[in-house]
């Protein structure tokens, strides 16, 4: 007997921004920073410092001349934010963070660092999940925080031009007020910056609808390691004048140059949005549900996310949200957005009815009032933070064909048994993107040895990618070969040498420590 109950809150047609502007990422997980001290990355993960110069008093004087006293951060307490990553698993030892306000200042800083052979770690909102945004040793932190001016939005073409340090949520609000939507949305939107998003080629919740940043970034201004300022292209949607160089910076994670300005294509803003939160009995049913949904709602589908019961429970408990549904093995979130509030709602209701009749969905809720959608999204977007409150998180962000995706979670759960606190899966099902998270009370290198290379080999065997959307940064730099050929890795090394001959930009990140022969 099916026990489906619609909890319908359909009296108010919500605006997308009304919901999203309330979502916040605090920058640091609310696990209190003083709870434990994060060990130095170099010690915890056994890394050797490369041959860079050491910062001197003269260097500090040069930096003060360029950005003024207020742009040079040196106090150990103030540096804590710049040295420790969001997951609190990496800690650098930098003694200076610089905060330029203009591209020219940033260029002057890089010119000096390159001449002196001082290593540099570019940093945006510091919400990255692979340890790429914080130094490993004493790299100079180059923060984009103060380069946050939004220049313009052409409401006819939808082209938004902004400095790289603008916070994603601020951009979202700016675009929304002008009838447009930023084609990217993630749980870290309250802290991450558009430059950091481009540097990581972030995916997130709207990827399914709007595609990759490779199709939405129209142009960039970047600064190379030697200080050369590079404006690219025309910011026109069609521009085939030569190699598409700006694409090499999308996803380069601060290793090829620093992004200082972004031109982004912002589509028209939908006027109505609805969200379903559904309980299902098996992953097989999740797949069938996706199949039905993608056929029925293709033109208005804006997110299709899944969570297993472990993620669901951890998230609502840690965030004190009352659970919308009773326990199920799996949950699915389907968001649609369009311009026909009544019509779209009817289509969603009729789909859910069909899914119920086929016994694919057992229980669920459909909402379109902003505060209700917000609390449902909180459960999904809060998983990352909730898990960090339970201990050390071994994070894997994988692309895997949908059919096989959850087999990996089950295999790893079986392999690890009771040696770990939990092993759970969630993610962007519509994009074949699984987030596999294993939690232990503290960091144990022997657990890593059980997980790796097992997970990477499993992923390669199923023709997936070992980094779907988070990048490689520091934590995943030595596993690139599971998804890239030796020839491709060598070409990347040559690109790095071309763009940054002294190797000062974000060392120990992205490229593997040793190269395939
Ligand atoms: P940072 O973390 O500061 O830096 C990330 C990398 O980019 C570093 O290597 C840094 O050196 C480089 N970088 C930063 N700014 C620049 C610049 N201007 N020029 C050159 N290099 C630069 N990611 C997803 O893809 N999808 C998600 O759904 C998603 N959800 C998240 C949810 C939460 C709660 C959190 C904490 C993170 C999430 N992330 C997600 C990861 C992260 O938010 C993204 O990678 C984001 O794009 C990073 O932006 P940032 O400004 O914080 O960059
Ligand atoms: C998400 O989709 O929630 C993010 O990518 C963060 C994570 O993987 O935990
Ligand atoms: Zn994600």
Element (H, E) at 108: helix 103-116
504, β-bridge pairs:
none
Instruction: Identify which of 331, 381, 386, 427 to mutate to test ligand 2's pocket (most ligand atoms within 8 A of the CB).
Output: 427
CA of 248 to the centre of ligand 1 (A): 17
Report DSSP letters for 74-91, one per residue.
--HHHHHHHHB-TTS--B
Report the separation in Å between the CA atom of 427 and the middle of ligand 1, taken as the mean of its atom positions: 17
Of the ligands numbered here, which is closest to the C-alpha atom of 387?
A: 2
**Which residue's CA lies nearest to atom 21 of ligand 1?**
254
Would you report the helix, strand and coil content of the chain in percent, each value rounded to 5?
Answer: 35, 20, 45
pLDDT in tens, 247-304: 999 999 999 999 999 999 999 999 999 999 999 999 999 999 999 999 999 999 999 9
Sequence-ordered strand ranges (E) for 380-432: 392-399, 422-428
- Report how far residue 133's alpha carbon sits from residue 126's, in angstroms, rounded to the nearest whole number: 6
Tokens of 5: 């109950």
What is the whole-number distance in angstroms between the Cα of residue 380 and the centre of ligand 2? 9
35 pLDDT more than 80: no
Among protein residues, the one with the nearest Cα to ligand 2's atom 8 is 435
The DSSP-derived string for 447-460 is HHHHHTTHHHHHHH
Residue bearing the CA closest to ligand 2, atom 5: 204
Q: What is the pLDDT of residue 265?
A: 98
Domains of the chain: 5-18+269-384 (3.30.70.2190), 33-143 (3.30.43.10), 150-265 (3.30.465.10), 390-483 (3.30.70.2740)
- State how beta strands 159-163 and 229-231 pair: unpaired
* Beta bridge mates, 122: 142
Q: Are 160 and 150 in contact (CB under 8 A)?
A: yes
Beta strand pairing status for 140-143 and 120-123? parallel
**Closest-lying ligand 2 atom to the alpha carbon of residue 433:** 2
Task: Please identify, by atom number, the ligand 1 atom nearest to the C-alpha of residue 124.
Answer: 3
Give yes or no for a contact between 375 and 321, defined as CB atoms under 8 angstroms apart: yes
pLDDT value at 73 more than 70: yes
Quickly list DSSP for 241-277.
Answer: SS--GGGGGTT-TTSS-EEEEEEEE-PBPPSEEEEEE
**CB 398, CB 466: distance < 8 Å:** yes
Instruction: For residue 425, report the distance from its CA to the centre of ligand 2, in Å.
Output: 10
pLDDT at residue 11 greater than cutoff 50: no
Q: Ligand 2 pocket: which residues have CB below 6 Å?
A: 187, 383-384, 397, 435
For 75: left if phi > 0, alpha if psi spans -120 to 50, otherwise beta; the answer is: beta
**What is the rounded CA–CA span in Å between residue 495 and residue 368?**
48
Its pTM stands at: 0.95
The answer to whether residues 159 and 218 touch, using CB atoms and an 8 Å cutoff, is yes
Whole-number Å distance, alpha carbon 332 to ligand 3 midpoint, is 15
Query: In this structure, is the dihedral angle defined by the CA atoms of residues 123, 127, 128 and 132, taken in order, positive or negative?
Result: positive
Dump pLDDT digits (tens) for 429-452. Answer: 999 999 999 999 999 999 999 999
The string over 206-242, giving b where at least 16 C-beta atoms fall within 10 Å of a residue's C-beta and e elsewhere, is: bbbbbebbeebbbbbbbbbbbbebeebbebeeeeeee
- 20 pLDDT band, cuts 50/70/90, is very low
95: pLDDT strictly greater than 50: yes
Distance, in Å, from the CA atom of 114 to the CA atom of 505, rounded to the nearest integer, reads: 9
Mutation choice for ligand 2 from 23, 85, 185, 187, CB with most ligand atoms inside 8 A: 187
User: Of 412, 147, 416, which is closest to residue 258 (Cα–Cα)?
Assistant: 147
> Given pLDDT bands bounded at 50, 70 and 90, which one contains residue 3?
very low
Q: Mean pLDDT score of the chain, rounded to an integer? A: 93
Q: How far is the CA of 58 from the centre of ligand 2 (A)?
A: 42
Per-residue pLDDT at 232: 83
Average pLDDT over residues 6-20: 29
Contact 85, 470 (CB under 8 A): no
pLDDT higher than 80, residue 5: no
What integer pLDDT is reported at residue 7 of this predicted model? 38
DSSP lists the bridge partners of residue 308 as: 330
CA atoms of 189 and 170, how far apart (whole Å): 9
User: pLDDT tens digit string along 220-238?
Assistant: 999 999 999 999 878 999 9
Phi and psi for 222 in degrees, rounded to 5?
-130, 165
Q: Are strands 272-280 and 258-265 parallel, antiparallel or unpaired?
A: unpaired
Provide the Cα torsion 278, 284, 289, 294; round to 10°. 130
Burial label, 508 (beta-carbon count in 10 A; 0-12, 13-18, 19+): buried
Pocket probe mutation, ligand 2, options 397, 466, 468, 476, max atoms within 8 Å of Cβ: 397
CA 202 to ligand 1 centroid distance, Å: 7
DSSP H helix total and E strand total for the chain: 18, 16
Q: pLDDT of 338-392, one tens digit each?
A: 999 999 999 999 999 999 999 999 999 999 999 999 999 999 999 999 999 999 9
C-alpha of residue 135 to centroid of ligand 1, in Å: 15
pLDDT at 234: 86
Condensed to tens digits (0 to 9), the pLDDT of residues 327-342 reads: 999 999 999 999 999 9
What are the tokens at 447? 């657990």
- Please choose, from the candidates 28, 261, 263, 254, the residue with its C-alpha nearest in 3D space to the C-alpha of residue 142: 254
């Amino acid at each position: 007997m099916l026990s489906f109950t619609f909890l319908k809150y359909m009296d108010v047609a919500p605006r997308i921004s009304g919901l999203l502007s309330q979502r916040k990422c605090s920058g640091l997980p609310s696990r209190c920073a003083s709870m434990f001290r994060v060990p130095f990355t170099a010690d915890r993960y056994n890394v050797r410092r490369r041959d860079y110069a050491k910062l001197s008093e003269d260097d500090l004087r040069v930096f003060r001349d360029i950005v003024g006293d207020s742009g040079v951060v040196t106090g150990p307490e103030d540096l804590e934010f710049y040295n420790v990553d969001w997951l609190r698993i990496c800690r650098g030892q930098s003694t200076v963070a610089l905060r330029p306000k203009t591209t020219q200042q940033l260029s002057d800083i890089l010119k000096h660092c390159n001449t002196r052979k001082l290593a540099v770690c570019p940093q945006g909102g510091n919400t990255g999940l692979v340890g790429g945004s914080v130094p490993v040793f004493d790299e100079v932190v180059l923060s984009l925080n103060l380069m946050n001016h939004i220049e313009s939005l052409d409401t006819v073409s939808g082209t938004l031009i902004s400095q790289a340090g603008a916070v994603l949520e601020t951009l979202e609000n700016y675009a929304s007020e002008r009838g447009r939507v930023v084609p990217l949305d993630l749980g870290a939107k309250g802290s991450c910056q558009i430059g950091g998003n481009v540097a990581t080629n972030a995916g997130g919740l709207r990827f399914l609808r709007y595609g990759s940043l490779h199709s939405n970034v129209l142009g960039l201004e970047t600064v190379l390691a030697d200080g050369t300022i590079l404006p690219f292209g025309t910011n026109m949607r069609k521009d085939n004048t030569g190699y598409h160089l700006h694409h090499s910076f999308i996803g380069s994670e601060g290793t090829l140059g620093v992004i200082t300005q972004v031109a982004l294509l912002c589509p028209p803003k939908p006027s109505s949005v609805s969200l379903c939160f559904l309980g299902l009995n098996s992953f097989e049913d999740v797949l069938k549900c996706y199949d039905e949904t993608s056929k029925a709602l293709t033109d208005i589908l804006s997110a299709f996310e899944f969570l297993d019961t472990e993620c669901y429970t951890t998230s609502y408990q840690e965030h004190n949200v009352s659970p919308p549904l009773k326990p199920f093995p799996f949950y699915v979130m389907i968001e649609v957005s369009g311009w026909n509030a009544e019509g779209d709602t009817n289509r969603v209701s009729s789909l859910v009815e069909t899914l119920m009749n086929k016994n694919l969905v057992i229980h669920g809720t459909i909402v379109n009032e902003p505060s209700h959608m917000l609390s449902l999204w909180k459960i999904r977007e809060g998983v990352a933070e909730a898990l960090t409150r339970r201990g050390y998180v071994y994070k894997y962000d994988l692309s895997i064909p949908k059919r096989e995706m959850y087999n990996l979670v089950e295999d790893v759960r079986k392999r690890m048994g009771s040696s770990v606190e939990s092993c759970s899966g969630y993610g962007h099902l519509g994009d074949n993107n699984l987030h596999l998270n294993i939690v232990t009370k503290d960091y144990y290198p022997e657990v890593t040895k059980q997980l790796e290379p097992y997970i990477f080999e499993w992923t390669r065997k199923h023709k997936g990618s070992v980094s779907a959307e988070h990048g490689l940064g520091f934590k995943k730099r030595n596993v690139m070969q599971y998804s890239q050929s030796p020839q491709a890795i060598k070409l990347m090394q040559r690109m790095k040498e071309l763009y940054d001959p002294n190797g000062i930009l974000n060392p120990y990140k992205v490229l593997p420590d040793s190269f395939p022969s």
